[in-house]
Chain A
Amino acid sequence: MSLQSSTPEALRVVNLLQERNLLPPGTVPAPTPCLPQDIQKVNCNPEVFRCTLTSIPQTQSLLNKAKLPMGLLLHPFKDLSQLPVVTSSTIVRCRSCRTYINPFVSFLDQRRWKCNLCYRINDVPEEFMYNPVSRSYGEPHKRPEVQNATIEFIAPSEYMLRPPQPAVYLFVLDVSHNAVETGYLNVFCQSLLDNISALPGDSRTKIGFITFDSTIHFYNLQEGLSQPQMLIVSDIEDVFLPTPDSLLVNLNECKELVEDLLKSLPHLFEKTMETQSALGSALQAAFKLLSPTGGRMSVFQTHLPNLGVGALQSREDPNQRASAKDIQHLSPATDFYKKLALDCSGQQVAVDLFLLSARYCDLASLGCISRYSAGSVYYYPSYHHQHNPAQVERFQKDLKRYLIRKIGFEAVMRIRCTKGLSIHTFHGNLFVRSTDLLSLPNVNPDAGFAVQMSIEENLDDMQVVSFQAALLYTSSKGERRIRVHTLCLPVVNSMSDIFSGADVQAITGLLACMAVDRSMAASLSDARDAMTNAAIDSLSSYRQSVLTIQQPGLLAPACLRLFPLYILALLKQKAFRTGTSTRLDDRVFAMYQLKYQPLAYTMLMIHPALYRVDDLTDEGALNINERTIPQPRVLQLSVEKLSREGAFLMDAGTVMYLWIGRNCNPNFLTHVLGVPNYAAVPENLYLLPELDTVESQRTKAFIGWLRDQRPFFPSLHVIRDESQLKASFMQNMIEDRTESALSYYEFLLHLQQQISK
């Protein structure tokens, strides 16, 4: 099936060596699969479910020839503005493969339907014939399950192994001297006090606290006590729970005691001189407390655990940070944390880790506790309440989002695909319980997953294939629900069609996940070579198989024109770069983020967006909620695009930099920053002042709009030429040459040389 006529733009030949302006003015849009209009209309939203190739090759040999990775990237629990919810006594599923009925099944007649994943013919149950929405009978294809690709079912009792668990939150806090120094405890307690009524849950919600330094402290919060009681367990080799209940208490009934505890906690440890940290034992104690019910454990750690089980050594050699050769110590030092994470996963406990540390903390080992228990890792390097207020603000906002965001408990996810395709590798914070059952003790709206696929049998006689991701979870109110997403894509058998359907951002995201796995399993240089080879192989395959006229230069189809740029960006990313001084924890955290974040934020992390903001106009602006939001053009990441007379905003996902040129427009300085001249711009400015000028409104509207699009809070840094953060800003200038890496043009030449070998 040739789709070439319908997508001429995607296959337009681009000579990368000659064309310089490759970036679109706004964000790069996701490619639309080449399907008939009525099918594409109901297809799954690409922000939720996306494939690296929007036209699936018919055979494995064809896929191998194209040298592009095939996989799916999903964001199954994303906060959706519109989500149809169906309560039905029977959920219609295929008899053999157990696929949920979806918009892409075919109805043979009124009474029978054909599954689009295994092609089995099933009967339509009697209840399904009645459509409650339109109150009509005899039109099963009008029911909401068949009209929406993303839908949520309320699960009947067969989908529950045990009664739905309540929301259980346990906070494990480091209270050693180092921790109290950073001052995080104040921020945490205040945040929790402010948001305690907004914690997702119902009247069964339970809460508990454990603090630790060289001993473990539990808090008896039983209803009826006049104040919280602290119980200290110093036997860290063999931890036990001091009392059987009242360590995890019902939030509604014991709210005053909990609030008392939060108010007094920072003062309890003000004078502490303990420098040791028994994190492993504290985690074991917390696991004992949570294992009967399951729930969420939030661990706050400020330095290397050095006592008891799970004690870690400082493995980083500061002299090796800028090594041009291999980076060591990317894999865990001990499997204590992984084992504990797997035990937690079995008891439906997820562990989230907040690392607030100035020195090396061996995140490569500690991170395992979250990776295998479907938790998330938050990292605030050099957190200090006085020296680093930008981090404090970021911690506060992140904590607020973390406490009040939607959460699902005791969840499992299964991804099914049409007969002939199979899934073999899973990326993300999860545990693969059996061949395709993913165990997620907690599911949150900020987690993304990726899978790699292969073609087991040739997809002959098939026009389309489908993929379905089903997430079964317990909501915080004790309801068991199933969220189902279904994606449909066409099958093609010509190389040009495969290339025209390539989704360059999804390919980059999947390659980043694969490269992280390769760095941890083999070595970093292996991973770097593999990424470069991915670019070389795919472009040379394009040249040989698709191009009819051989022209000189480095040719790529328009849909893949950004591919070498993204590969270069990955090579210069903190996770994979060599030759530039990178702290080991920063590097490991960048790797975790590449695997954990949904695609949209990963792409911002890999290739930040650069805008000129000193000359914002209302031309082409968006009008949202009666606010005009200017839309400046995205610029290339090169110093060439910076100008001394301007101010530029770089949006890198979790952080934003506002760079002020030396001869910046004084209008901008006075009206937006509130300073008379360049020299008066303060050193560590991270908040734009509230001024009443038009320019200030425009700038704030634009920055606010960027921030609203994502659930976490990017911190803003205003930097001048002499600022310490200038180095981080300049490191994101991907197209430029540095001492240890090629410029974009040189990289293209290198690719061309390798291709024509």
Chain B
Amino acid sequence: MILLTIIARIADGLPLAASVQEDEQSGRDLQQYQSQAKQLCRKLNAQSPARCILEAGDMYFHCLIAEDVCYLSLCEASFPKKMAFAYLEDLHTEFHYLYGKKVSTVTRPYSFIEFDTYIQKKKKTYVDNRTRRNLGSINTELQDVQKIMVANIEEVLQRGEALSALDTKASNLSTLSKKYRSDAKYLNTRSMYAKVAAVAVCFITLIIYVRFWWL
């Protein structure tokens, strides 16, 4: 999608016309790109290459310089280069025809802001060609998402199985450990009885010994 278009005079970077994509979401993020575009217009001069692409984050600035005017457009990375430059060429032809002679005489910024209506219309035609292709790619993406979702569900189900196995194991462990506890208690009591009996036997032996020895 073409998000931003600026047409400026090379000599001093004076903006002549511009168009911003009118959309609720993207409008706000474009602030930073707009100031970059303005700075670009000032930096470019007659020696800069006639066509170039400048990378800015995940967006590309496509730049066309012709007849002392530079045409800048900001597009997403996936937008095809050929299409972007065809669009800029189109703008150049029309702009030069309408305003070419007056470019060097104006002093006010955005003197030709009325060119905006033509830019908007052109943008729509260039986007529409891509839309059909986009729809196709969106469809394939949806299918991918479906597959991934299906795969995920399977994983989830397997995880579910693993979980239930874990659950049974844990409950087994719980019962076994309870049994172990009762066994241990039983053994403890038994050994206690044994100890008590041993002590009692010793005691009785002692008493008998004492009785028979002393008497």
Contact = CB atoms under 8 A, between A and B. Distances in A.
B108 A288 contact: no
B31 A478 contact: no
Interface residues of B, number: 21
Contact of B108 (A162, A203, A250, A479): A479
B109 A160 contact: yes
B18 A163 contact: yes
The dominant DSSP class at the A interface is loop
B114 A204 contact: yes
Contacts of B109: 155-157, 160, 480
A155 B109 CA distance: 8
A292 B23 CA distance: 6
- The secondary-structure label for the interface of chain B is mixed
A293 interface: yes
Nearest to A88: B107
A557 interface: no
A202 B114 CA distance: 8
B20 A163 contact: yes
A434 interface: no
B113 A292 contact: no
A160 B116 CA distance: 16
Interface string B103-126: 000011110011011000000000
Given A163-B20, A292-B23, A292-B27, A203 B107 contact: no
Contacts of B110: 157, 160, 163-164, 478-480
Given A156-B109, A157-B15, A162 B116 contact: no
Nearest to A478: B113
B14 interface: yes
Interface in B14-36: 14-15, 17-20, 22-24, 27, 31, 34
Nearest to B23: A292
Given A204-B113, A288-B24, A478-B113, A87 B108 contact: yes
A224 to B, nearest CB: 12
Contacts of A202: 114
Contacts of B114: 202-204, 478
Contacts of B22: 292-293
A163 B107 contact: no
A154 interface: yes
A80 interface: no
Contacts of A154: 108
B116 A166 contact: yes
Contact of B117 (A160, A203, A288): A203
A292 B22 CA distance: 5
A46 to B, nearest CB: 32
A268 interface: no
Contacts of A160: 109-110
B204 to A, nearest CB: 94
B107 to A, nearest CB: 6
Interface in B98-155: 107-110, 113-114, 116-117
Given A162-B34, A292-B22, A204 B117 contact: yes
User: Which of A163, A203, A204, A480 counts the most B-chain CB atoms under 10 A from its CB?
Assistant: A163
A157 B38 contact: yes
B116 to A, nearest CB: 6
B109 to A, nearest CB: 4
A478 B108 CA distance: 11
A213 to B, nearest CB: 26
Contacts of B14: 157
Contacts of A164: 110, 113
A161 B109 CA distance: 13
A479 B109 CA distance: 8
A89 interface: yes
Contacts of A292: 22-24, 27
A183 B110 CA distance: 43
A291 interface: yes
B24 A291 contact: yes
A648 to B, nearest CB: 53
A481 B132 CA distance: 44
A89 B18 contact: no
A203 B17 CA distance: 14
Nearest to B27: A292
Contacts of B18: 163
A87 B106 CA distance: 11
A156 B114 CA distance: 18
Nearest to A163: B18
A89 B31 CA distance: 24
Nearest to A244: B23
A288 B117 CA distance: 21
Interface in A243-257: 250, 253
A166 B20 CA distance: 12
A291 B28 CA distance: 11
B117 A163 contact: no
Contacts of A166: 113, 116
Contacts of B24: 288, 291-292
Nearest to B5: A163
A293 B120 CA distance: 13
A253 B118 CA distance: 12
A163 B113 CA distance: 8
A403 to B, nearest CB: 21
B98 to A, nearest CB: 12
Interface in A159-201: 160-164, 166
A204 B116 CA distance: 8
Nearest to A293: B22
A161 B18 CA distance: 12
Contacts of B17: 163
Nearest to A223: B121
A203 B113 CA distance: 10
A161 B31 contact: yes
B10 to A, nearest CB: 15
Contacts of A204: 113-114, 116-117
Contacts of B23: 292
Contacts of A291: 24
Nearest to A154: B108
Given A163-B19, A292-B24, A89 B107 contact: yes
Contacts of A478: 110, 113-114
Contacts of A479: 108, 110
A201 to B, nearest CB: 10
Nearest to A202: B114
Tell which of B17, B38, B116 has the most Cβ of chain A within 10 Å: B116
B1 to A, nearest CB: 13
A428 B17 CA distance: 35
A89 B18 CA distance: 20
B29 to A, nearest CB: 13
Contacts of A161: 31, 34
A203 B107 CA distance: 20
A480 B15 CA distance: 13
Interface in A202-222: 202-204
Contacts of A163: 15, 17-20, 110, 113, 116
Contacts of A253: 117
Nearest to B124: A245
A250 B22 CA distance: 14
4 closest A-B pairs by CB: A292-B22, A163-B18, A157-B109, A478-B113
13 contacts: A87-B108, A89-B107, A156-B109, A160-B110, A162-B34, A163-B19, A163-B20, A164-B113, A202-B114, A204-B113, A293-B22, A479-B110, A480-B109
Given A163-B116, A166-B116, A292-B27, 15 more contacts: A155-B109, A156-B109, A157-B14, A157-B109, A160-B110, A161-B34, A162-B20, A163-B20, A166-B113, A288-B24, A292-B23, A478-B113, A479-B108, A479-B110, A480-B110
Interface of A: 87, 89, 154-157, 160-164, 166, 202-204, 250, 253, 288, 291-293, 478-480
Interface of B: 14-15, 17-20, 22-24, 27, 31, 34, 38, 107-110, 113-114, 116-117
